[in-house]
Amino acid sequence: MISTLAIPVSLAGSTVIYNVWAAKRSDAESRLRLYTELVNKREEADTNLRREIFAKLMEKYLDPGQKDLDRRLAVLELLTQNFNESLNLSPLFWQLERQIVDEGGKRAPAFRAQLMRIADTVKQRQLDVLQVYGGGGEADPVFKLPADKPILDRDLTLELPSSDGAKRRIGCHFIVEALEPDEASHSVQVRVQSMPLERRAAQGVHVDDSPSCVGGFSRQWMFSVDPFDFPFVNYTRMSADERFAIFFSPHEGGLYSFKFVYFPSSLGGVRDKPFIDDVMNKLRSASK
């Protein structure tokens, strides 16, 4: 008798438990859908607003009838404040500097100082983001070029996400040298060397257990940098995971201050958005 009643009671209990679980799951999914819709609508509204702002600003900046330097500097500053992460604004800086030289007259030094202030603000803002979420490594404050010693000679490390959700640490030893400046183009020739930390250990230098950079090989790059290079868009790809950027600011008396940052590819901005083939390959690997 008891066993006969136990079966329908257990079935009824299971049904109740399942209905409660299903209701909770449905509620959670509804909340997730609502949150996703709200985020999508917010992103869409923000994108539309930014599109309108960008169109208006570029219309003002490129209007051939509006050559007023004060106005163009103001428009350029608005562009840098709103779009410095997604656009390479260097050509606008160079175009405006040429206009200042040609049309600035007595106010040319003040105009150029304002232009450099805008550029330095963009570089520092981007550097702050990269150092918080990426690597780091600033050079010594001020140098007379050509520098008689490396402007950077140190170990730098990064934390990179792995497929299991954990973090893996990777590191390099960097040597950065600043060579002769080119006064005509306002650029500086630099040489960057990267050395795996294991190589440093072989030389008797203590290092931690970080994996080697760039696949375990030493590498060297030589290129020119100028005052309007910005780390979010003017960087060097070291490997699939690693990036570095170097930039400088000129000072009076022929002095230069340099900054160097080593950061993961996930912070590389629009230029480093994954290709669809990479995304598909990662999805296939995760599903196996």
Three-state secondary structure call for residue 239: coil
Q: Average pLDDT, whole number, for the chain?
A: 76
d(CA 160, CA 215): 15
What the block records as the tokens of 33 is: 């859908």
Give residue 156's pLDDT band: very low, low, confident or very high (50, 70, 90): confident
**Which segments of the chain are extended strands (E)?**
143-144, 152-161, 167-182, 187-196, 219-225, 236-237, 242-251, 255-264
Three-state secondary structure call for residue 249: strand
d(CA 51, CA 180): 42
Buried b (16+ CB within 10 A) or exposed e, 170-209: bbbbbebbbeebeeeeebbbbebbbbbbbbbeeeeeebee
DSSP designation for 138: B
Tell how strand 242-251 and strand 219-225 pair up. unpaired
Q: For 45-98, write each residue's pLDDT tens digit.
A: 666 656 666 666 666 666 666 568 888 888 888 888 888 777 788 888 998 999
**CB neighbours (10 Å) of residue 215?**
12
For residue 244, pLDDT beyond 70:
yes
Residue that wins the pLDDT comparison between 190 and 288: 190
What the block records as the tokens of 288 is: 């196996």
Average pLDDT over residues 141-148: 77
Please tell me the predicted confidence (pLDDT) of residue 75.
Answer: 86
Quote the pTM value.
0.70
